[in-house]
Amino acid sequence: MPGSVDRRNFIKTTALTGVALSINNSIRAFSPGKKEKVRVGIIGAGFRSQEHIGNFCQRPDVEVVALADPQERSIHEAIAEIKKYNRPEPVVYKNGDHDYKQLLKRDDIDAVVICSPWEWHIVQAIDAMQAGKIPGVEVCGAMKLQDCWDVVNTSEKTKIPLMMIENVCYRRDVMAVLNMVRKGMFGELLHAQGGYEHDLRGVLFNDGITAYDSGVEFGPRAYSEAQWRTNHYVKRNGELYPTHGLGPVAVMLNINKGNRMMRLSSIASKTRGLHKYIVEHPKGGTEHPNAKVKFQQGDLVNTQIQCTNGETILLTHDTSLQRPYNLGFRVQGTEGIWQDFGSGGPTQGFLYFEKLMKHSHHWDNTEQWLKDHDHPLWVKYGKDAEGAGHGGMDFFVDHTFIECIKRGVEFPLDVYDLASWYSITPLSEKSIIEGGQVQDIPDFTRGKFRTKKQIFALSDEY
Ligand SMILES: NC(=O)c1ccc[n+]([C@@H]2O[C@H](COP(=O)([O-])OP(=O)(O)OC[C@H]3O[C@@H](n4cnc5c(N)ncnc54)[C@H](O)[C@@H]3O)[C@@H](O)[C@H]2O)c1
């Protein structure tokens, strides 16, 4: 595998430097290099973390040592998940928003998985690295551009690596298409599309008891994501959730590995869906206090991105209207095109390869193609992934996180990927405010992208 020696040395040497740099005593427990077992702390014990916990508890090489979350209910549910697998009860930190810092002081934790509300991701990732813990960070976009620089600078300074745990990069059809891209079947890539096109109305509002489709409350009267996510729709207008759509195509286009995103422009539609949902809901109505809320987030936000190697990317954020789920992938090259019209199932996409299909000008269903070009990782671990979240892809993202730490090798989705993907959010907000004005996307690698090699899923190991 190209660059494997460098990668192997990366965590080893960088972690050692991190030990030297840190003033936190807990860091003495950080043992760099290869490990038999990875000891994990969870920050944010809500629904998403419980999916990671389920995956970790099925692995003998992972121990979930501690949980930090200010909400009793989340802690209770996360512990119940751990008990399902007869694993030892974790130590709990639940005294407010900053108690996770006590978890970070523990000397028996190697890594943390950050599944908190968006506004905490980068703050907690930085604190984790400063405490010598390797963060795996859930998906979202940054609150501000400077945060993206801060997370890169902290990783470089502490030499603690970070993994962007973007599960859609591991979706079976996405990986099969990646495999076909790497085999050259699409020729030279020119354009890609993706997005977050998911009716979240029943997630953004609930009754404070049941998480989904149960009411029109948000904020303190609500439960789970409606407690915090909806506030972003009140105050912001941008590409709020770029990484599910961007991550998979960024890997195909070798973003930050020989290529990079150079500039973007975003526009937003008017805002209708969430207000309509509140007034039409049986528990809402025109007199409900939330019917007076003015949501800033446009129902559709489209972001065009240009890459240094000449490709274009189109991202769509579409979460406030009625619609079936679809991440809307399209990958287009000189020799082929893939369009994903459904919810990621093998039969729900279309492919066209002009030469292979004798210039028929007819789409072919993806099913057989995806079988024939299944990624080696899925061929090897498909059975193990059965039952894991989001059609199995969660198995792979957690597997990669743990395997890289155990082997002491570089993460395939790293701090530069997190920074550049997260940066789309504040840049899109600025672009929309400025009427679609083009915004430069910083080179968070400071030129290293030119020589960095792609290491994502090069084999059937992780
Ligand atoms: N990759 C995916 O497929 C996927 C799916 C769902 C959610 N997510 C992401 O995962 C994250 C969590 O989402 P969720 O659905 O679990 O939300 P959730 O609201 O169910 O859980 C978030 C938890 O974080 C806790 N929290 C709040 N402030 C905290 C703090 N300062 N320190 C520690 N914990 C804190 C909350 O009390 C809550 O229990 C979000 O970033 C979300 O976008 C990803």
Q: Are residues 201 and 329 in the same domain?
A: yes
pLDDT band at 22 (very low <50, low <70, confident <90, very high): very low
CA dihedral (307, 309, 312, 318) positive or negative: negative
Q: Are residues 158 and 181 in the same domain?
A: no
194 alpha carbon – ligand 1 mean position (Å): 23
Nearest CA to 331 among 189, 202, 180, 430?
A: 189
Q: Are residues 115 and 9 in the same domain?
A: yes
CA dihedral (219, 48, 149, 191) positive or negative: negative
Measured at the alpha carbon of residue 137, what is the angle toward residues 143 and 44, in degrees to the nearest 5?
85
Give the whole-angstrom CA distance, residue 398 versus residue 385: 11
Residue 286 covered by a domain: yes
Nearest CA to 204 among 122, 115, 273?
A: 273
Q: pLDDT tens digits, residue range 229-258?
A: 999 999 999 999 999 999 999 999 999 999
pLDDT band at 306 (very low <50, low <70, confident <90, very high): very high
Residue 291 covered by a domain: yes
Give the whole-angstrom CA distance, residue 410 versus residue 124: 21
Q: pLDDT tens digits, residue range 208-236?
A: 999 999 999 999 999 999 999 999 999 99
Name the domain boundary from 130, 145, 167.
Answer: 167
Residue 460 covered by a domain: no
User: How far is residue 206 from each of residues 75, 198, 210, measured CA to CA in Å?
Assistant: 20, 17, 7
Q: Kindly state the percentage of the chain with pLDDT values over 90.
A: 90
Report, in angstroms and rounded to the nearest whole number, the Rg of the chain calculated over CA atoms. 22
The per-residue pLDDT for 34 is 83
Query: By mean pLDDT, which of 37-46, 273-282, 340-349, 362-371 is the weakest?
Result: 340-349
Q: Are residues 161 and 250 in the same domain?
A: no
Give the whole-angstrom CA distance, residue 301 versus residue 271: 10
Ligand 1: residue whose CA is nearest its atom 25: 44
The total of structural domains in the chain comes to 2
Nearest CA to 15 among 123, 115, 124, 128?
A: 128
The per-residue pLDDT for 345 is 87
Buried-exposed string 37-74: b where 16+ CB fall within 10 A, e elsewhere: ebbbbbbbbbbbbbbbbbbbbebeebbbbbbbbbeeeb
Q: pLDDT tens digits, residue range 50-78?
A: 999 999 999 999 999 999 999 999 999 99
Q: Are residues 238 and 347 in the same domain?
A: yes
Q: Are residues 162 and 180 in the same domain?
A: no
Q: Is 127 in the pocket of ligand 1 (CB under 6 A)?
A: no
Bridge partners of residue 305, in order along the sequence: 264, 313
Q: Are residues 122 and 238 in the same domain?
A: no
- Best residue among 204, 225, 240, 241 to mutate for probing ligand 1's pocket (most ligand atoms within 8 Å of CB) is 225
Average pLDDT for 85-106: 98
Q: Are residues 291 and 334 in the same domain?
A: yes
Q: pLDDT tens digits, residue range 147-172?
A: 999 999 999 999 999 999 999 999 99
**Segments forming the whole domain that contains residue 174:** 169-376+413-450
For residue 225, the domain's CATH number is: 3.30.360.10
Residue 381 covered by a domain: no
44 alpha carbon – ligand 1 mean position (Å): 6
Name the domain boundary from 167, 199, 221.
Answer: 167
Q: What share of the chain is helix, strand, coil (3-state, %, to 5)?
A: 40, 20, 40
Give the whole-angstrom CA distance, residue 345 versus residue 324: 13
Residue 395 covered by a domain: no
Q: What are phi and psi of 107, to 5 degrees?
A: -100, 10
The per-residue pLDDT for 16 is 33
460 alpha carbon – ligand 1 mean position (Å): 30
Contact between 145 and 427 (Cβ < 8 Å)? yes
Which is more confidently placed, 384 or 25?
384
Residue 57 covered by a domain: yes
Q: Are residues 99 and 222 in the same domain?
A: no
CA 290 to chain CA centroid, nearest Å: 30
Residue 333 covered by a domain: yes
Q: Are residues 21 and 143 in the same domain?
A: yes
Name the domain boundary from 167, 200, 226.
Answer: 167
Q: Are residues 107 and 201 in the same domain?
A: no
Residue 383 covered by a domain: no
Give the whole-angstrom CA distance, residue 462 versus residue 459: 7
For residue 158, the domain's CATH number is: 3.40.50.720
Q: Is 230 in the pocket of ligand 1 (CB under 6 A)?
A: no
169 alpha carbon – ligand 1 mean position (Å): 20
Q: Are residues 218 and 96 in the same domain?
A: no
